[in-house]
Structure 1
């Protein structure tokens, strides 16, 4: 991750005594998650041919007018919506998840295959810090990228213009422009 932000989720002193007290930032984030969950539920329950209804709800999720020629096939999931920036001619297939609190940008002409997942937030690896704050970094997908079915894009990643992420790939590092990346990266590299 190039730039990692921390969002406190409670007062660490009280946590040590066993009391979890949520901070104002975390409460605001939680409230937005509940609001957007209700909106995505409405979006996903609409008839597929109700393009006007889908556009209205999707615009409410994103908090702005939709870009031209945007296509989003439900079901569609996001936890925040306001930090999801979609370019023109973006295509998002069924069952995709965008955990966008840390910011996700999809450039013009990006295509996203079914069940792709974009994650911008997480918890520290250190067990002592895991419940104290969230970490996060934005994801940037440049123009004309194709993200294959079931790919997972992790916090802080930039995917260069015209690249392809193969189906099922886990992208933890930046992808250069005009490149094909494939394969899982999951391997045990540390134990505690």
Structure 2
């Protein structure tokens, strides 16, 4: 029998109020609370907290405040930069490539709810993984929706809502986000 954590990571309906998941979120919030109070601290000191929080990280610079659900389901490559007030709902894996930059207020959501009201009000949730390739720039206020893959060397325009996969080597923008031109 699968745990709610296993169901969550496998993209199946899961109960977010399961005690294991609640404990994991509480642990993440303790680290985030500490991290978000470190605005003027050296990067090395801030990164020590991030390394405890995140599943895997290398050379990263996330400007506080930063928010996530678990942290352990985020894998960030080299030279990852995330500006102020960003959110990653990591109920599924979020894989971020090398040299990725995020403007302020970027939101990355793996979590979602059933569309049918009769299913949604029962409470179980769903999650789909997100993959962001190497050398991607997410403009300020961009929202990345569950299950999306963004190809390498792509730029997503500020304020875009990315609901579907975006190929490599393009500039894409809008709501819903669509390819505007090749780079």
Which moves more between the two structures, 98-107 or 54-63?
A: 54-63
- TM-score normalised by structure 1 residue count: 0.81
Q: What corresponds to 2:93 in structure 1?
A: 103
Q: Does 1:81 align with 2:71?
A: yes
- TM-score normalised by structure 2 residue count: 0.85
Uncovered stretches (5+) of structure 2, i.e. residues with no partner: 1-8, 178-183
Q: CA RMSD in A?
A: 1.9
What is the 5 A alignment of 1:1-192? 5-9=11-15, 26-64=18-56, 66-67=57-58, 69-130=59-120, 131-185=122-176
Uncovered stretches (5+) of structure 1, i.e. residues with no partner: 11-21, 187-192
Write the deviation string for residues 118-175 of structure 1: whole angstroms up to 9, x where unpaired: 0001110111111342111100000001000000000000001101110000000000
Bigger radius of gyration? 1
- The answer to whether the 8 A contact 1:4-1:156 is kept is no
- The answer to whether the 8 A contact 2:39-2:63 is kept is no
Shift of the alpha carbon at 1:34?
A: 1.4
Is the partner of 2:44 in helix, strand or coil?
A: helix
Is the partner of 1:6 in helix, strand or coil?
A: coil
- Runs of 4+, deviation exceeding 3 Å: none
Count of residues in correspondence between the two structures:
168
Separation (CA, whole Å) in 1 of partners of 2:41 and 2:123: 44
